[in-house]
Amino acid sequence: MKPLLDFFQQGGPVMYAILVLSVVLYTRCCSLLYCLWSSRRQTVGLQARLAGQTGALGRRREQLEDYFRQQRLALGAMVAAAPLLGLLGTVSGMAKTFESLTHWTSADSMDGLAQGISEVLVATQSGLAVAIPALLLLYIAHRLLQRHVLLLNQLEQQPAPASRP
């Protein structure tokens, strides 16, 4: 636990914002993936009963697409915010670096320079490390949605099962 705390302190105060963003982002990504996965699983389980029911299948498809669209907007904004927070950490780390160069003696300024550069790199790396995997999860969710919509379209085009006398 100590190395993790050291890492966060090394990255500066923006690291806490990146941490909160990552928790919210990955919670919502997992929720979206689970919703799409369970909906598809439910559709596959009810496949025989749903065949040919164009109204129900169309509503289900529209609901899934609307849900995904809403989630994608929020998730896309968070994915975009993560590297921007890393950039904010970069800027604050550079400001500290230049400040250390102007106020201290040469030995102290080298220590401040190293500390500032470290903050810059950790913050930038953290922002990207949060955004890139989330972007991949969003792509996976999109593919799950496409497969589910394809299944719903196929079920819509199948003839309705004959009712038993």
| Residue-wise pLDDT tens digits, 24-78 | 999 999 999 999 999 998 888 877 676 667 787 888 889 999 999 999 999 999 9
Which of 4-18, 29-43, 108-122, 145-159 is least confident?
A: 108-122
Question: What's the pLDDT at 161?
Answer: 62
Share of the chain above pLDDT 90, in %: 45
Domain extent listing, the chain: 2-157
Comparing 6 with 50, which gets the higher pLDDT? 6
Sign of CA dihedral 7, 11, 12, 18: negative
Question: What's the pLDDT at 123?
Answer: 86
Six-digit token pair at 88?
Answer: 């904010």
With both helix axes pointing from N to C terminus, report the angle between 54-103 and 106-157 in degrees, rounded to the nearest 10.
Answer: 170
What whole-number distance in Å separates Cα of residue 1 and Cα of residue 108? Answer: 29
- State pTM to two decimals: 0.81
